[in-house]
Structure 1
Amino acid sequence: MTPPLRLGYKASAEQFDPARLLDFSVLAEDVGFDSVFVSDHLQPWMHDGGHAPAAIPWLGALAARTERVVIGTSVLTPTYRYHPGVVAQAFGTLGLLAPGRVVLGVGTGEALNEVTLGIEWPEVKERFARMKEAIELIYLLWNEDRVTYDGRFYSTRNATIYDRPSEEVPLYIGASGPAATRLAGRIASGWITTSGKARELYTENLLPAFDEGLSRRAEDGVYGPGDDVDRLIEVKVSFDHDYDRALEDTRFWAPLALSPEEKMGVEDPLEMQRLAGALPTERAASRFIVSTDPDEHVARIREYLDLGFNHLVFHAPGHDQERFLRLYGEEILPRLRALE
């Protein structure tokens, strides 16, 4: 049994300045979305026209301007730019400002966001170990009064988070590989992944790893029942009544179509932009559900519901986000809710 269906909006911080992004996210609540998630990037995927507002203060502004939507990061890296203790403090504060509406989504990070600050980018194994230790420390700081911690990467001395909500902020783990996905099933309140990849990746690698994590969760008996774990997937969609427009809208997000090998270790938005600019439009659009017919669009989205995901966060690539939000609110969200 999975949690109830939730439909969210991905606020494209890499594409819009903070004020416009805030207006779009408030509109998302108005037209019927259940959640708003934002990435925490120091640098955008594209240099020209790119943006990178700080996610933590932006979420505070969003909390003040909304009343209902769940808000959170998809994702933030609590291991290099931030000490895990600072993350625990910041999200404790956000949890007080918007009780029951804040999610901390974490991941292992990308070179694009960290190397520019002088960080030597390690191998995946170390990044995973750092994230795992950071999560352990964040949980301790949220649940204990004075925390002295001596880990491999982080330490604290009699640390206390003085302002934290009575109910712990849910922590989600962003993962596109089996190890982190397994960890999400075992210890997190939610799992975050992304759409547009081969179906076999989900059915043969990620979902079995997640289920394995859930089984270990039940054995450990520490983190609560597995049927409460949110299964969140960012669904990349370009929906418009004009097909050519829907297709062309994906150009700004062409970097997402680069293979892991093509973008591994790329730390400069100018280089990322150069690599993405060489891709044909058809490949730039390959990660997106591009369509003009609402029923066909919903049928393709339903494939992710059938896989067991219950929280769909829609990432639209176009510059006219108001147009997208109103179209989705009128034509797509009601059809998806009818499926439930």
Structure 2
Amino acid sequence: MVEIGYKLFTEAHSASELVKNARLAEDAGFSFLSISDHYLPWVANHGHAGFAWCTIGGISQSTSRIKVSTGVTCPLMRYHPAIVAQAAATAASMMPGRFELGLGTGENLNEHVIGGVFPTSEPVRLDMLREAVNIIRTLWKGGMQDYYGAYYTVDNAQIYELPEQLPQIRISAEGPMSAEVAGEIGDALIYFEQKPEEVIETFRSSGGEGKSCMIETVVCYGRSEEETKRTA
């Protein structure tokens, strides 16, 4: 079944505007929301980059039906996977059955802000993502957990605010390599580029058969052609 969603672009709107837009999207009949999670906007004149997880809390209280997914959160550097696990569990507790966790390998634009070196190797980033997802799922089992991996350590951690229904984990893919990993470790796929056929085929053949795919496309609209061109 095809569902149509609405993108909450944190880089172009304030947090309060995004909460309002989420409610309007629900009223208009959209099935789901996807919210970007950036520290910096793509370009300065976008003008915004509010904290997505605070905004999600507001959305949880202003909507009652529409599903919400991060689109996407990077659990590699700026966020430790244990923190993402806690944040997602809390969001899912506030929106029973409505929250999904979208994850990806991120970009230097947002991850460099804490210092350190953002890995340029895609295989390394994907290995880090595998480990991050493993940590998140481990913590969602409940109880006290330890994890000592190649990239991350979790020591005596427990998430106390666990939802009755755990979120699906959607994995973002930009090509065949990440699509293969998405099929292996994800519950669903997110794809942001054009011509998704090859990526979807790889996702399906790597463990994604029967799992849902979210394809994001950019649409610009306005009250006039001139306004639309300015927005674009």
Q: Work out whether the TM-score is over 0.5.
A: yes
Query: How many angstroms apart in 2 are the aligned matches of 1:209 and 1:88?
Result: 27
- 5+ residue gaps, structure 2, are none
Match of 1:50, as an amino acid?
A: G
Could you tell me how far 1:144 is from its partner in structure 2?
A: 4.2
**Match in the other structure for 1:188:** 186
Q: CA RMSD in A?
A: 1.6
Query: How many angstroms apart in 2 are the aligned matches of 1:96 and 1:47?
Result: 34
Match of 2:201, as an amino acid?
A: P
**Match in the other structure for 1:95:** 92
**Match in the other structure for 1:131:** 129
Could you tell me how far 1:105 is from its partner in structure 2?
A: 0.4
Residues 1:111 and 2:108 aligned together: yes
TM-score when normalising by structure 2: 0.93
The match for 1:206 among 183, 187, 199 is 199
Deviations 1:33-66, CA, capped at 9 Å, x for gaps: 1111111100001213421111111101100110
Match of 2:172, as an amino acid?
A: G
Query: How many angstroms apart in 2 are the aligned matches of 1:114 and 1:23?
Result: 28
Could you tell me how far 1:246 is from its partner in structure 2?
A: 3.2
Query: CA separation of 1:115/1:66 partners in 2, compared to 1, >3 Å: closer, same or farther?
Result: same
TM-score when normalising by structure 1: 0.65
- 5+ residue gaps, structure 1, are 218-225, 251-340
SS of 2:45's partner is coil
Query: How many angstroms apart in 1 are the aligned matches of 2:82 and 2:157?
Result: 8
Write 1 or 2 for the structure with the bigger share of helix: 1
Which 4+ runs in 1 deviate beyond 6 A? none
Aligned residues: 231
Residues 1:83 and 2:80 aligned together: yes
Could you tell me how far 1:166 is from its partner in structure 2?
A: 1.9
- Whether the 8 Å contact between 1:59 and 1:72 is mirrored in structure 2 is no
Higher relative contact order (CA 8 A, sep 6+): 1
Deviations 1:275-306, CA, capped at 9 Å, x for gaps: xxxxxxxxxxxxxxxxxxxxxxxxxxxxxxxx
Residues 1:70 and 2:67 aligned together: yes
Could you tell me how far 1:240 is from its partner in structure 2?
A: 5.0
Query: CA separation of 1:31/1:184 partners in 2, compared to 1, >3 Å: closer, same or farther?
Result: same
- Whether the 8 Å contact between 1:172 and 1:191 is mirrored in structure 2 is yes
SS of 1:136's partner is helix
Could you tell me how far 1:238 is from its partner in structure 2?
A: 2.3
Deviations 1:176-202, CA, capped at 9 Å, x for gaps: 12122112222212110114x3x3xx3
SS of 2:155's partner is strand
Match of 1:188, as an amino acid?
A: G
Residues 1:158 and 2:140 aligned together: no
SS of 2:73's partner is coil
Larger radius of gyration: 1
**Match in the other structure for 1:332:** none
